[in-house]
Chain A
Amino acid sequence: MDGSQLLQLVASGLVTGSIYALVALGFTVIFKSTDAINFAQGEWVMAGGMIGAFLHASFGLAPLLLLPVCAAAVALIGLVSERLAIHPLKAPTPMLLTLITIAVAITTRAAITLVLGKAPAGLPSFSGSENVAVFGATLPPQALWVFGITLLVMIGTHYFFQRSLLGRAMRAAAADREAAGLVGINVSRMAMWSFVIAAAIGAVAGLIITPLTLTSVNAGLMLGFKGFSAAMLGGLGNLHGALLGGLVLGLLESLSAGLLSSQFKDAVAFVVLLVVLFLRPAGLLGRASTERA
């Protein structure tokens, strides 16, 4: 193994890691506002890719145009899911919400299968087809789109939560529901927005990875699991942790596949998840859970 091969492994690890980071971001957004683990997150990623591939194949929509369209379509799925399955609950405990998201995941997958079928689907690269050399590694042009869009989504989400009134209200509601109600925040509406945002982020992740990996209705389970492991690794509920956890997991996968055996690739996320749960349940950037008010 020479230096350039190693660079190649790092580069491809960062590409996958970017996707994991986006999936982890989706988990984080919903966890922050509801304390629940959203098992539908992976299905939303799958839905973004499947709907994008369908719209491209049937109507020839340009891949870049697909970004806002798919984000909106899947955000709508998130919105409807929340209003139908979560909002009517009288006593929405995190455990109950988590269980319901499993039902949402199954329903979403069934609906996509019914409408778009089981066949694998793909998308062309957002631009060009010639590989590009970056710092000694050779990458498909789509990899650069993945980096760029992941960065934009991360920064956009950060500013949304830090600067916008809705973002701040969502943080306030996450910190103290009752107090948030007292200042006039409709707390259940904030939970709804977290589903919408997480679904849109998931759709973007699914869309930008599809030109590299293809997708199918079954892709959501593994992507959701990887994203969850990344979120746990970085510290569930922490935006920066999602980015860090995603990239680290992507790198670990790529390096272990390249240096050991590609059979280990999917096992890495399981190992990471177990190690995090045993040694540091709050994740790399998370505070100890006792400090969570």
Chain B
Amino acid sequence: MLEVSALVSGYGRIRVLNRVSLAVADGEIVCLIGPNGAGKTTLMRTLAGTLAPWEGDIRLAGEPIAGRRADHVVGRGLALVPEGRRIFMPLTVSENLEIGAYVRLRAGAKAEAQQTLDEVLALFPRLAERRDQLAGTLSGGEQQMLAIGRALMARPRLLLLDEPSMGLAPMVVSSIFKAIASLRGRGTTVLLAEQNARMALKIADRGYILITGEIVREGAARALLADPTIVSTYLGH
């Protein structure tokens, strides 16, 4: 589904990602673990096209997408739930979800978008209850659900999530992770960036560990969780 090779990216003259390579197979949930400042967000933004890579290759289902702008990339089937949620605060919950399907609605796929909306509301019933509320009035957890729901409205083949647990209470995090794990059954492939390593590795098939812009380890999620040196060195707690 996704193949990244020797990706270099950064801001201005600051090089953040140093030849990052990784792959996500169809139907997998892969997590990208790393401490604050490791470059997770930079990688996610470069994949989604809000940041242009300096070097390297990104292929989505074989198609090169490196350097394509975000509004093009989402049409190719890659949607990002950005760090900090970034929902449209002055718009209602339904409007946020509708706009999530922007590319499909422009192509005239109204009925299909409605069907996806029903699925998203079934996944997050809280959003259905708050449909007509302004997004800015939602709680943090609900905002994260909305951000995920909005990305799902594009019916992506590959969903990227950037620290969905950030700033949320543990109970809320576990319900959100449950929803992410349930995507596996729907044929959505997932790449999840997290500092919350244990939780992420528990729902993932495989994991990569990113430290200061470089992938330092990769492996099956279970193996990474079981490795005591990894847990103590990179994952803290």
Contact surface of A with B, Cβ cutoff 8 Å: 165, 168-169, 171-172, 175-176, 178-187, 293
* Alpha-carbon gap, A178 to B86, bound state (A): 8
The residue that B50 contacts in the complex, of A172, A181, A184, with Cβ under 8 A, is A181
A181 to B90, CA, bound (A): 17
Q: Mark B179-208, 1 if CB is under 8 A from A, else 0.
A: 000000000000000000000000000000
B88, A172: Cβ atoms closer than 8 Å: yes
Question: What's the Cα separation between A169 and B106 when bound, in Å?
Answer: 11
Q: Could you give 15 example pairs across A and B, Cβ below 8 Å?
A: A169-B102, A171-B88, A171-B95, A172-B99, A175-B88, A175-B89, A179-B82, A182-B48, A183-B74, A183-B79, A183-B151, A183-B153, A184-B71, A184-B106, A187-B71
Most buried by B among A172, A183, A185, A293: A183
- Rounded to whole angstroms, the CA-CA distance of A182 and B71 in the bound complex is 6
Give the residues in chain B near A183, CB-CB below 8 Å.
Answer: 71, 74, 79, 99-100, 102-103, 150-151, 153-154
Q: Choose among A172, A182, A184, A185 the residue that contacts B91 (Cβ–Cβ < 8 A).
A: A172
> What sequence of 0s and 1s flags, for each residue 34-63 of chain B, a beta carbon within 8 Å of any chain A beta carbon?
000000000000001110000000000000
Residues of A within 8 A of B103 (CB): 183-184
B224 within 8 A of A: no
Contact indicator B74/A184 (Cβ below 8 Å): yes
The smallest C-beta distance from B1 to any residue of chain A, in angstroms, reads 19
Whether the Cβ atoms of A168 and B98 lie closer than 8 Å is yes
B80 in the interface (beta carbon within 8 A): yes
B→A interface (CB under 8 Å): 48-50, 69-71, 74-75, 79-80, 82, 86-91, 95-96, 98-100, 102-103, 105-106, 136, 150-151, 153-154
**Min CB gap A28→B, angstroms:** 14
In whole Å, how far is B104's beta carbon from the nearest beta carbon of chain A?
Answer: 9
Given contacts A169-B102, A171-B95, A182-B151, 7 further A-B contacts (CB under 8 A): A168-B95, A175-B91, A179-B88, A182-B48, A184-B74, A184-B75, A184-B154
- Complex-state Cα separation, A182 to B87, whole angstroms: 11
Q: Which residue from chain A places its CB closest to the CB of B95 in the assembled complex?
A: A168
Q: Which residues of A contact B100 (CB under 8 A)?
A: 183
Given A168-B99, A172-B99; A186-B71 close (CB under 8 Å): yes
Given contacts A168-B98, A169-B102, A176-B86, contact A181 B70 (CB under 8 A): yes
User: Which residues of the other chain, A, contact B98 by a CB distance below 8 angstroms?
Assistant: 165, 168
Q: How far is the CA of A216 from the CA of B89 in the complex (A)?
A: 43
Tell me whether A171 and B80 are in contact (CB under 8 A). Answer: no
Residues of A near B79 (CB, < 8 A) are 182-183
Contact of A168 among B70, B91, B151 (CB under 8 A): B91
Contacts of A293 in B (CB 8 A): 89, 136
In the complex, chain B residues whose CB is within 8 Å of the CB of A181: 49-50, 69-71
Evaluate whether A185 and B88 lie within 8 angstroms (CB atoms) in the complex, with A178-B50, A179-B82 already known.
no
Complex: how many Å from CA A184 to CA B100? 8
B90 and A175 within 8 A (CB): yes
In the assembled complex, the Cα of A64 lies from the Cα of B69 at a distance in Å of: 43
Contacts of B90 in A (CB 8 A): 171, 175
A142 to B89, CA, bound (A): 41
Q: Give chain A residues whose Cβ lies under 8 Å from the Cβ of B96.
A: 172
Which 4 pairs of residues, A with B, have the shortest CB-CB distance? Answer: A184-B103, A181-B70, A179-B86, A184-B74
Closest chain B residue, CB of each to CB of A187? B71
B residues less than 8 Å from A169 (CB atoms): 99, 102
B105 touches A185 (CB 8 A): no
Write the nearest CB–CB distance from A124 to chain B, whole angstroms.
Answer: 43
Given the complex, which residues of B lie within 8 Å of A180, measured CB to CB? Answer: 88, 99
Distance (Å) between the CB of A166 and the closest chain B CB? 9
Task: For A178, give the chain B residue with the smallest CB separation.
Answer: B50
Give which listed residue, B82, B89, B106, contacts A182 with CB less than 8 A. B82
Give the chain A neighbours of B80 by CB distance below 8 A.
182
With contact pairs A181-B70, A183-B150, A184-B71 given, residues A165 and B102 touching in the complex (Cβ less than 8 Å)? yes
Shortest B13–chain A CB gap in Å is 16
Q: Would you give the shortest CB distance from B148 to chain A, in whole angstroms? A: 13
A175 closest partner in B (C-beta): B88
Q: Chain A contacts of B150 at CB under 8 A? A: 183
Question: When chains A and B are docked, how far (Å) is the Cα of A113 from the Cα of B175?
Answer: 65
| Across-interface contacts of A179 in B (CB, < 8 A) | 82, 86-88
Q: Min CB distance, B155 to chain A, in Å?
A: 12
How near does chain B come to A241, taking the closest CB pair, in angstroms? 14
Instruction: Kindly list chain B residues whose C-beta atoms are within 8 Å of the C-beta of A168.
Output: 91, 95, 98-99
Give A165 to B99 CA distance when docked, in angstroms. Answer: 8
Which one of B71, B75, B91 contacts A171 once the chains associate, using CB atoms below 8 Å? B91
Q: Which residue of chain A has its CB nearest to the CB of B45? A: A178
The answer to whether A182 and B74 touch across the interface, beta carbons within 8 angstroms, is yes
Smallest Cβ-Cβ distance to B160: which chain A residue: A182
